């Protein structure tokens, strides 16, 4: 992730991009997970994190949390992001899903996700772009 959101977006624009919803961030790279969760936390979101799809499923299916948005990596060991998304939406159809990946288009196609989808963001993530995308999805 690049510069902190506060250094990219300031003042009234920053307030518009903030939220109070609950976001579950899933990534198998601890550094990415930490940076994204910190960034979203500074925007006012309640952030839950999971380092694997199975850990995320426990939060979704047994955690008793209302998850407004699932932000998941596409390529995950054990269970790909699109399968996790389907399970999360089966548990609560109101859960919105935003996929992220640094992989090529052909690799993403194998996982059933395309960069052209409105619910996709490329890694490395720009804090401003992530904030705008999440706010649009949760509006």
Longest CA–CA span in the chain (Å) reads 42
> Looking at residue 11, what is its pLDDT?
47
Q: What is the average pLDDT value for the chain, to the nearest integer?
A: 84
**Cα–Cα nearest to 23, from 55, 49, 52, 3:** 49
How does residue 7 score in pLDDT terms, banded at 50, 70 and 90? Answer: very low
> Looking at residue 29, what is its pLDDT?
95
Which domains, and CATH codes, for the chain? 5-138 (3.40.50.2300)
> Looking at residue 41, what is its pLDDT?
95
**Cα–Cα nearest to 69, from 26, 39, 106:** 26
Max mean pLDDT among 2-6, 14-18, 118-122 falls in 118-122
| Mean pLDDT on 102-125 | 70
**Cα–Cα nearest to 102, from 29, 35, 37:** 29
């Amino acid at each position: 992730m690049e510069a902190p959101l506060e250094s990219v977006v300031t003042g009234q624009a920053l307030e518009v991009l903030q939220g109070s919803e609950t976001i579950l961030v899933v990534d198998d790279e601890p550094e990415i997970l930490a940076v994204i969760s910190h960034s979203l936390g500074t925007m006012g979101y309640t952030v839950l994190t999971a380092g694997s799809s199975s850990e995320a499923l426990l939060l979704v299916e047994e955690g008793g949390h209302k998850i407004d948005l699932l932000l998941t990596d596409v390529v995950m060991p054990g269970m790909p992001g699109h399968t996790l998304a389907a399970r999360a939406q089966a548990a609560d159809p109101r859960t919105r899903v935003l996929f992220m990946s640094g992989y090529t288009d052909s690799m993403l196609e194998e996982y059933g996700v395309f960069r052209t989808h409105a619910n996709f963001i490329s890694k490395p993530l720009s804090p401003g772009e992530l904030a705008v995308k999440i706010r649009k999805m949760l509006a």
